[in-house]
Structures are given as structure tokens and as C-alpha cells.
Amino acid sequence: MPKRPYVIDEMISAKTIAARVEELSHQIHDEFSGTDKLVVVGLLRGSFVFIADLVRELDLPVEVDFIEASSYGNQTESSREVRILKDLRGEISGRDVLVVEDIVDTGHTLKHVVGLLNAKNPARLKTIALLDKPSRREVDMSADWIGFEIPDEFVVGYGIDFAQRNRNLAHIGKVRFTGE
């Protein structure tokens, strides 16, 4: 449990997120039309709500798989050390793959995961992130599709947590720490 008290100020509404997910699904459909099956690979845990909404909007045959990567733990800053806690269960060799990330911050996690997946020889591999913080980028890595570009704020909601809390918020909110 976080020891510092905080409040959450709404940054992106649930309605705005839903509209953007629908727009992104059309772009992804155009990119992958004709695929026999799109393997949607979610980076756990923060992307699970985004994945659920996104795949429901895709008019494509999809398979969903997950990788669990960690670089935050219970902190508000990335450790920059990417650990894979759970690998894919399915095979992606020769298949079309869409990697779904919650936030591209420093870029270390997405770069690490894309490298691991490309080593498995997918036919095509594209990436999508709900949120992008380009001001925090430390490596040359960005997603092919971005939901929203945001400033350098610590955010929660829509699957994204702070010490395993606030994932269930329907919106994206900025964490603001209050008095100790």
C-alpha cells in the first residue's frame, strides 16, 4: 500500500478513451486486413483493460497472449531493468503480431520486449501504446500507434496502477501527492 497520501485528478475521460480506441482499431484493421489471425500480445499487467477494449473493436480474427514484464515494482519511477516474469504461451513464428503496451515512458520495456519477440520470427510485428511520454524517452523506441501523448505525470486508471491500486478506474488520472 502506498505510504504517501495522494489524490487522482482526471486527465483523460472514459468517453475520450473509448473514442480513441475505436479510431485505433480501424487503423489496425487496415494494417492487418487479410491476416488469417492476429496475435495480440499484451504486456501485463497495465495493458489488460486496453487489450480487452481494443480486441472487441477489431473486426479481425484474433488470438490473445500475454507477456509480463516489470521495470517499476511499487515505485513511481522505472528501474530501467526489465525483467520478464511471464513469457508467451503460444507460437508467433510466421504470424502477425500486435504488441499492446499501457505506457511508453523511457522506452526500455517496449524495446526489450520487441527484441525478444522479433527473435521468434513473426511475419509482421507492430506495436501500440495507450499512452506515450516522449519527454521521458531514454532509448530510440516508440510505438507504431499511440492513443494519447501525455506530459511527464504519474498516471493511474484504465488498467494502470500505483502499487496495485487504481487499475479499476474507467479514466486516466494524474496522481497528485498530498501532505505527508
- Express each pLDDT in 56-105 by its tens digit: 999 999 999 999 987 655 455 555 677 788 889 999 999 999 999 999 99
Contact (CB, 8 A) for 78 and 105: yes
**Residue 83 to residue 108: CA distance in whole angstroms:** 11
- Among residues 87, 105, 140, 144, the one annotated as catalytic is 105
Which residues, given as ranges, of the chain have pLDDT below 50? 74
Hey, where are the domains in the chain? Answer: 13-152
The predicted pLDDT at position 2 comes to 57
The predicted pLDDT at position 86 comes to 87
Contact (CB, 8 A) for 153 and 10: no
CATH of 13-152, one of 3.40.50.970, 3.75.10.10, 3.30.530.20, 3.40.50.2020: 3.40.50.2020
Active site residue 105: yes
**Residue 157 to residue 155: CA distance in whole angstroms:** 7
